[in-house]
């Protein structure tokens, strides 16, 4: 489904939330655009879940504004229940009624709205087909696996035809194989239904697989945000660098550092990041042609980020400082991210 990704769906302005003297959200301002898949990452206690729950007022902010499709939903005069119909919620622990059937759990939002029975039947069957649980329609939730329960939770969130899904650690209670299947389902919802997805996660592979934007939180603030490629390729904040290193190992093993230190000739260690189209450029081949430079590859890694590829090379350039600078200029001219690495 084609959507206008330039259209701002949610605009957060100076959002604050305090529990007593504990300032959990400290002036967050950010935009979430239609059709995006956005990850909120950060250490435990950084305010991620509070931020997510504030977006549909499950947590009431103590300051700031939340504009949903142009309406400030923090305004007491606004009917929040009407807006919540367009904001689906998916929980880590599923929040299902175990003693009820799959059909009843999915139908619950429509039952509470007092929708006609034929409308409920049609909509529930539609989302059951979409999440591939048609054969579980009359099964009690207590008889389902964790992955099936999360599919029911997602289906329930889809019954009101939401514009956005808020997912609070939706895969953290699942095994790796089931996590992958749920992520594929969320990606399908985004692509085919045009639903915006905002998810909280500790799992960087979740960001890697389905997200196109990421925001990093620490101490109640968003300390860094941008496209996944930009944040993974050029992390600025220390907390971001730590998260990225769990997916992209761009560090030099100590055993190699020891060997490099034994080098008698002048050298410089460089970290090169090839992102997107730059992976096609023969940069390493070119710098090998620089007279007076010897290139030693100390390490390399390749990661897929949705439809893009990131390659990281750790190179040792051996030669005079002038020749190393000449090689560096050649690298920079090719649009490759480069940084000098100090070997201590």
Does residue 106 or residue 277 have the better pLDDT?
106
40, 220, 255, 337 from 245: Cα distances, Å: 17, 22, 19, 16
- Going 87 to 146 to 210 to 92, the CA torsion angle's sign is positive
* pLDDT at residue 343, as a whole number: 81
pLDDT in tens, 130-165: 999 999 999 999 999 999 999 999 999 999 999 999
Domain 8-245 CATH class label: alpha beta
pLDDT in tens, 288-331: 999 999 999 998 888 887 778 888 999 999 999 999 999 999 99
With CA atoms as reference, report the closest residue to 224 among 10, 9, 35, 40: 40
pLDDT in tens, 20-46: 999 999 999 999 999 999 999 999 999
Distance CA 81, CA 58 (A): 11
* pLDDT at residue 268, as a whole number: 92
* pLDDT at residue 93, as a whole number: 87
Distance CA 143, CA 289 (A): 65
**What value does the mean pLDDT of the chain take?**
91
pLDDT in tens, 160-198: 999 999 999 888 888 889 999 999 999 999 999 999 999
The beta strand positions in 159-212, using DSSP E, are 164-168, 196-200
pLDDT band at 246 (very low <50, low <70, confident <90, very high): confident
pLDDT band at 239 (very low <50, low <70, confident <90, very high): very high
6, 10, 18, 59, 221 from 224: Cα distances, Å: 20, 18, 22, 23, 9
Q: What is the pTM of this model?
A: 0.86
Helices (H) and strands (E) in the chain, counts: 12, 14
The DSSP secondary-structure symbol of 1 reads -
pLDDT of 2 strictly over 90: no
Distance CA 250, CA 54 (A): 36
> Is beta strand 221-227 parallel, antiparallel or unpaired with respect to 294-305?
unpaired
pLDDT band at 256 (very low <50, low <70, confident <90, very high): confident
Tell me if residue 154 falls in helix, strand or coil: helix
Does residue 4 or residue 70 have the better pLDDT?
70
Q: Specify the CATH superfamily of domain 254-341.
A: ACT domain (3.30.70.260)
pLDDT in tens, 263-282: 888 999 999 998 878 888 89
pLDDT of 4 strictly over 80: no
pLDDT in tens, 200-226: 998 888 888 899 999 999 999 999 999
What are the extents of the domains in the chain?
Answer: 8-245, 254-341
pLDDT of 344 strictly over 80: no
* pLDDT at residue 173, as a whole number: 80
Max Cα–Cα distance, the chain, nearest Å: 82
pLDDT of 1 strictly over 90: no
Structure-token pair, residue 226: 């941008």
What percentage of the chain exceeds 90 in pLDDT?
69
Q: Are the C-beta atoms of residues 167 and 186 closer than 8 Å to each other?
A: yes
């Amino acid at each position: 489904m084609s959507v206008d990704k330039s259209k701002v769906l949610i605009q957060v302005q100076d959002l604050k939330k305090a529990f007593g003297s504990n300032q959990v959200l400290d002036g967050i301002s950010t935009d979430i655009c239609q059709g995006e898949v956005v990850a909120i990452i950060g250490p435990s206690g950084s305010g991620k879940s509070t931020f997510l729950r504030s977006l549909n007022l499950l947590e009431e902010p103590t300051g700031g504004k939340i504009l949903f499709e142009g309406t400030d939903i923090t305004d007491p005069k606004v009917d929040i229940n009407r807006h919540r119909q367009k904001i689906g919620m998916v929980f880590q622990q599923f929040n299902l009624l175990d003693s009820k059937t799959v059909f009843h759990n999915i139908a619950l939002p429509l039952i509470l709205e007092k929708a006609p029975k034929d409308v409920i039947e049609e909509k529930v069957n539609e989302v059951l087909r979409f999440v591939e649980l048609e054969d579980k329609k009359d099964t009690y939730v207590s008889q389902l696996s964790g992955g099936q329960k999360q599919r029911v939770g997602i289906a329930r969130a889809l019954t009101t035809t939401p514009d956005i899904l808020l997912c609070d650690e939706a895969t953290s209670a699942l095994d790796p194989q089931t996590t992958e299947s749920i992520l594929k389902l969320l990606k399908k919802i985004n692509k085919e239904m045009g639903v915006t997805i905002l998810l909280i996660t500790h799992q960087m592979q979740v960001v890697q697989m389905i997200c196109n934007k990421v925001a990093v939180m620490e101490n109640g603030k968003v300390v860094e945000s941008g496209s996944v490629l930009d944040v993974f390729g050029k992390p600025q904040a220390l907390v971001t660098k730590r998260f990225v290193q769990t997916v992209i190992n761009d560090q030099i093993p100590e055993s190699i550092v020891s060997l490099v230190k034994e080098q008698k000739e002048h050298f410089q260690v460089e970290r090169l990041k090839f992102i997107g189209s730059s992976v096609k450029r023969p940069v390493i081949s070119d710098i090998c042609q620089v007279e007076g430079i010897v290139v030693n590859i100390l390490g390399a890694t390749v990661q897929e980020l949705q439809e893009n590829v990131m390659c990281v090379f750790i190179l040792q350039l051996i030669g005079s400082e002038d020749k190393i600078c000449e090689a560096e200029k050649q690298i920079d001219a090719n649009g490759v991210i480069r940084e000098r690495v100090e070997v201590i």
